[in-house]
Structure 1
């Protein structure tokens, strides 16, 4: 908690956008804007946010402002769903913490039907196509049950501050249709990487490949190129053997990269390929830890929660795990959970600055959990939970 403000006349200052001040590598600066190869048009078309209500709104407290997440006592002024201003005011009496809403950079929402079913199983036995436990459960699932299960998961994600996710949806066209139906009534927008035949791109937003050792995926990559749709692929999860073949496909997004080596990182930087990492899932499946600090030095890195059957899709839990297990600053971790995913998907959120969409999370800084926290960024990343969420603006 901050000490009471001194009894001086109130001053209000409008704060300009911030610039990142942590990692200074050439690669990171190059990723300050979304790479065009990601398929920005397709991502933007998929971001179907609800129509905001008209009128002016103010949120007061400690604002994690700009892409440096500078803790600023003051308020966010919102006009018709967009941030009109970030105003400094040391005399606001609210203890709320206001931060950008989360973008979950890698999910598998389909296995919401089988939570904790894979406890103790290996990667191959739990999730690998085509005969793992996950794929058997998906094949046997009733359509209505599957839609309901994914809708419950999306609702949980919204309650814990997530407004968008990048989902690998199994089961071809029916799988994509099921997720569209599940998301129809929830304020979380899934960007759907479809699977199966390339014609899934008729209804999906991109294509999500299981891994270059499973198939050559040349037809799927070519279909994405023709349609200006992004191509994403798992790589380097069980070992490094599929990383170079995955990079040969010139993907728009890599997932995992647990076993990335220097030669892979050089190619990642040269090709400007962003990466989604999933530390908790890697732990559950016992595949190792991604070299997150090295990845950050070479490209944009975003956080994902991976399979719902393995872990709840809580970005708070994912941030806390990342901050406590890796040599990465809290600011970097928060950026991985917000700005990075938004940049990869071409979304107009992830940063609190004028002109941006007001996709925000308001935490109760006076909750039993957060009261007396001396560093709001550390508190958000390492301590906060869904119980601290007061409001989610989409």
Structure 2
């Protein structure tokens, strides 16, 4: 048994409770209200709802390029760098990125892994023995599902993914797809595939949002990456009003995959509350992949982030939720409990 004490952000509304989380056998056994001398803030460990960890071999390479030039398959700078990297180099680079993510508060990430079964296997190897667990959306044909946790499609205008969608459904694993990043032309074709997760939706219009709501499709947004690639700003307020919205950092080549940075940017640039942003960065991403984490309540997996509420950066803040979302940095992270 382990006790994690401090101001605990409890439940889906992240209510601050002075007390401790009781952890047994990797799960939350109880939350006990009690006076505590700890100034720590205890919240769900962060879930990055969209990454491309293979980009770890091309950090900063895409800055100043268009979307197609930087990341579009098959001939973008990203894909050329991936093709040039040998497996050992790729695994080592992704492993370092995973370690960085863990140190900045992330316990799970939903990764779109290129390069078919070999690419999925490389990410499995990169995560071996680490305290952060990548959920792998594989690509390159249905056979990748023998290794991956789900299927991640590049976009409905790039290929016909009907076979991969059918295979994912048959194996009861999620099917995710990019949509609405450069423009809106691929949104309806993506929705026609009845996906379990849409990524980006920058150019979603009212009719797209209504259909996503009708189908109950969650959406992962990546606002910092959208800014770097100059594709626009996702309509996060409207998306939240229609469906579940999760937060991701997207390509490692464009931005460091820090969910603390992503939360602060989102909270300050969009019409959203701090609690909404924290939900996007925790339970929404977990729910999208069917992960038993992302909220502090009895029975849930004990993936916890402990932040130093008395750090030089956070001391004196009045609202622990706002403090974590808008101010916290990797220097404020004390540990991630998994």
Class of the TM-score when normalised by the shorter of the 2 chains: over 0.9
Q: Given that residues 174 and 289 in structure 2 are in contact (C-alpha distance below 8 angstroms), is that contact kept between their aligned partners in structure 1?
A: no
- Residue aligning to 1:170: 114
Say whether residues 1:196 and 2:170 are aligned partners.
Answer: no
**Given the alignment, which residue of 46, 50, 53 partners 1:109?**
53
Give the alignment partner of residue 14 of structure 2, picking from 39, 62, 69. 69
Tell me by how many angstroms 1:227 deviates. 2.1
Aligned to 1:121, which of 57, 65, 72? 65
Do residues 231 (structure 1) and 175 (structure 2) align? yes
Decide which of 350, 359, 362 is 2:294's aligned counterpart.
Answer: 350
Query: Structure 1, residues 337-390: CA drift from partner, whole Å, max 9, x if none?
Result: 001111111111111111211110111111110111111100000000111011
Aligned counterpart, 1:307: 251
The runs of 4+ residues in structure 1 deviating greater than 3 Å are: none
SS at match of 2:286: helix
- Please state how far the C-alpha of 1:218 moved relative to its aligned partner: 1.6
In 2: Cα distance, 1:374 partner to 1:273 partner: 36
Q: For 1:24-57, what per-residue CA distance to the aligned partner results, in whole angstroms no more than 9, with x for missing partners?
A: xxxxxxxxxxxxxxxxxxxxxxxxxxxxxxxx22
Partners of 1:347 and 1:233 in 2: CA distance: 18
Q: Whole-Å Cα distance in 2 between the matches of residues 243 and 262 of structure 1?
A: 12
Unaligned runs of 5+ in 1: 1-55
- Based on CA coordinates, which of the two structures has the bigger radius of gyration? 1
Which residue pairs with 1:88 in the alignment?
Answer: 33
Output the CA distance in 2 between the equivalents of 1:291 and 1:243: 14
Tell me if 1:293 matches 2:293.
no
Structure 1: how far apart are the matches of 2:169 and 2:318? 49
Q: Secondary structure at the match of 2:334?
A: strand
What is the distance in 2 between the residues matched to 1:323 and 1:280? 12
Partner of 1:219, secondary structure, is: helix
Structure 2 segments unaligned to the other structure (5+ residues): none
1:87 CA drift (Å):
1.6
- Cα deviations across residues 197-252 of structure 1 (Å, max 9, x unaligned)? 22111111111111111112122212222222221100000000110011011111
Q: How far apart are the structure 1 equivalents of 2:79 and 2:186?
A: 21
User: CA offsets per residue over residues 68-113 of structure 1, 9 Å max, x none?
Assistant: 1011111112223221221222x31111000000111100000101
Q: Tell me the number of residue pairs that the alignment of Structure 1 and Structure 2 aligns.
A: 338
TM-score (norm 1): 0.84
d(CA) in 2 for partners of 1:149 and 1:121? Answer: 22
2:2 to 53, 57, 61: 57
Aligned match of 1:45? none
